[in-house]
């Protein structure tokens, strides 16, 4: 069994650069010097991509959020590379060392404990520093808990906003949620299972209980669960249930489009008609309100006939 020194800050014997697929050992092709952002599985280790395996096996340095967590993945695929810790608490110290290595012509693969690097972790600072130094940054795409939950939620996915973790304090959490109230997109949050019930209650208060939502738990793992309903229904369920286990993603559907008041539409039509022909005014109003051009045109003619303009 290999010891910890083989992984943390040291190259392994022979500097072997290969990975395993089943019983087959595959040599990794050399990497160009660059910072590689490598997405790793969020639960099921089989979700790793072939490109990610080759990148991890070939990199001069693998920078990990937690080397102990990453070792499980590396061991699974027979990857014996030098690793170093890079996380929120040591970024100011570890970051410059990684930049120095990159500037010296080495390749660095950055991974988080799970999912895509830079999503709710400090990797963006390292990327920013690398770009400022003219160092190439290469994304190696793959698993993402936020996108996995969104696609399985049944909620609109044409526009979405990833909001990460909400503040822990009640007042700050409500204030933050208020800023998202009118965002015309599906909202995606990460949350601790211990705070799930409390957070759902705050969402009902700030966003309204009628919004459709979904809770993704332990995605890609053995006890994966997607629970859907209104925010009020989900808040009631988790308030009564035992504290859930595992990683949690909350998806909240966008607010319902507010219907324009007839008086507002009339004012809009008359305002537009003062500047352009009636048919064009109706067409512009249709674009702005989502109404039917023909109906808006008839309404404008009625207004004109009644002396509205």
Torsion of CA 51, 52, 58, 60, to 10 degrees: 140
Confidence of residue 309 (pLDDT cuts 50, 70, 90): low
Question: Given pLDDT bands bounded at 50, 70 and 90, which one contains residue 156?
Answer: very high
pLDDT in tens, 81-128: 989 999 999 999 999 999 999 999 999 999 999 999 988 777 899 999
Q: Which residue in 231, 280, 237 sits closest to 252, CA to CA?
A: 231
pLDDT of residue 13: 41
Q: Report the distance separating Cα 129 and Cα 121, nearest Å.
A: 15
Q: What is the pTM of this model?
A: 0.78
pLDDT of residue 259: 56
What digits encode the pLDDT tens for the residues 190-232?
999 999 999 999 999 999 999 999 999 999 999 999 999 999 9
Q: What are phi and psi of 221, to 5 degrees?
A: -100, 180
Shortest CA distance to 199 belongs to which of 170, 237, 229, 220?
170
């Amino acid at each position: 069994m290999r010891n910890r020194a083989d992984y943390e800050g040291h190259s392994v014997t022979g500097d072997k650069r290969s990975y395993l697929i089943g019983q087959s050992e595959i040599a990794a092709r050399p990497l160009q010097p660059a910072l590689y952002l490598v997405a790793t599985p969020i639960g099921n280790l089989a979700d790793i991509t072939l490109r990610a395996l080759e990148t991890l096996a070939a990199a001069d340095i693998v920078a990990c959020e937690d080397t102990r967590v990453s070792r499980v993945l590396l061991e699974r695929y027979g990857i014996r590379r030098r690793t170093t810790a890079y996380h929120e608490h040591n970024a100011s110290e570890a970051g410059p060392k990684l930049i120095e290595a990159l500037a010296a012509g080495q390749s660095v693969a950055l991974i988080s404990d799970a999912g895509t690097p830079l999503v709710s972790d400090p990797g963006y600072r390292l990327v920013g520093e690398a770009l400022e130094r003219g160092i190439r940054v290469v994304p190696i795409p793959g698993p993402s808990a936020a996108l996995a939950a969104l696609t399985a939620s049944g909620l609109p996915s044409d526009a979405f906003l990833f909001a990460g973790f909400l503040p822990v304090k009640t007042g700050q959490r409500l204030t933050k949620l208020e800023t998202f109230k009118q965002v015309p997109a599906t909202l995606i949050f990460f949350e601790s299972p211990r705070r799930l019930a409390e957070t759902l209650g705050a969402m009902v208060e700030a966003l309204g209980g009628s919004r459709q939502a979904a809770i993704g738990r332990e995605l890609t793992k053995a006890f994966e669960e997607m629970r859907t309903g209104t925010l009020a229904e989900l808040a009631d369920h988790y308030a009564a249930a035992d504290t859930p286990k595992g990683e949690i993603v909350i998806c909240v559907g966008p607010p319902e489009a507010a219907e324009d008041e007839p008086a507002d539409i009339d004012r809009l039509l008359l305002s537009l008609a003062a500047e352009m022909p009636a048919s064009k005014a109706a067409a512009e109003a249709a674009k702005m309100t989502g109404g039917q051009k023909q109906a808006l045109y008839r309404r404008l003619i009625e207004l004109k006939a009644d002396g509205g303009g």
